[in-house]
Structure 1
């Protein structure tokens, strides 16, 4: 699995690049993980409802084709897009979601943070606070979009929305639990290692 570090990148062209990659790939295309950090942006998924944007601001809203509702991306948040062949895995969507959640949980455990998934709602939580969001799209037998893990960012824009459609959802980040906070690059290295392990098809699955 190839890991591509894209640095700080605007959301809209990254979204277009994801769609183009997915449309062009074939059964021989190597799977990729795209590691990205975005300037401030709200993204509204296919199930998104306008009322979950509580009030306007100068932060742009981009309509996209992943599942889920509205969320926020901004500097200090680690975003990983999972550009993977779904057919190659012979697994359910739930298996892919669990692989992402388990990778985040394992990464946080390396910093002494106890986190968990919630069977009733996607993402990873520390108690009732959400630290990571998930949103996927499966098209042409391939998966794109991915996950966002809050590392060391300004969380106040989340107050402008109902995060992922949940009113009053409290958000948290690694910096609230670990000081000094690790760098985004350090966390990315740990997370992509876990994702590569969780998402690489085993020989018995091929």
Structure 2
């Protein structure tokens, strides 16, 4: 693990407003040079977040979960217990100022970690998120939504380990109605957060290396 990046794992369920406030404060501190970058692994209680492209017609919410304006890109996303959420507060000013590269690398990190757990995950052209399966079994297993302010990233990704998949029925996840969602548990794999965290940790250096570190350029 890179020594100047804090890797934080929170126990229990972190309220969304608390996480959002922490991210925003940390991003400002990173930009000011008064705090280290952060990778934060956590779980939330059941809730929906609305991205900047969210369409109210895609929110049904029969269980009346709280809905939060996230400020990130994208549409509606569900978070809840059994889903690993990863928030990244990273300084792209020293990593090439390339948002597309950042998102592509983030996808690659998720795919690599899932591959370690036996999931053949992939990108799909024209669709947001990380996908697995084919034909009628094709489904999303991971979501991505990021925000970049003054070249510091916020928000990040989620991977479904063993959430209540019926909760996704309260929205059109990320605006894609044609396909379902899946999880490690649904795929018959170990439905525990720890092995995923370990896989993410192991593949994190490769993710960082895929970003352009301009401090290393003469």
2:127 paired with 1:118: no
* TM-score (norm: length of structure 1): 0.92
CA shift for structure 1 position 115: 1.0
CA distance in 2, matches of 1:104, 1:22: 22
Q: 1:184 aligns with which of 174, 180, 193?
A: 193
Q: State the match for 1:45 in structure 2.
A: 51
CA shift for structure 1 position 199: 2.2
Q: CA RMSD in A?
A: 1.8
Superposed counterparts of 1:1-12, under 5 Å: 1-7=5-11, 8-12=13-17
SS class of match (2:129): strand
CA shift for structure 1 position 55: 4.2
Unaligned regions of 5+ residues in structure 1, if any?
A: none
Q: Is contact 1:96–1:199 with CA below 8 Å preserved after alignment?
A: no
SS class of match (1:42): strand
SS class of match (1:15): helix
1:171-197 C-alpha deviation (Å, 9 max, x unpaired):
001112244x14202211211332343
**Structure 1 residues 36 and 99, CA, compared in 2 at 3 Å: closer, same or farther?**
same
CA distance in 1, matches of 2:199, 2:161: 13
Q: State the match for 1:170 in structure 2.
A: 180
Q: 1:34 aligns with which of 37, 40, 54?
A: 40
* TM-score (norm: length of structure 2): 0.87
Q: How many residues are matched?
A: 205
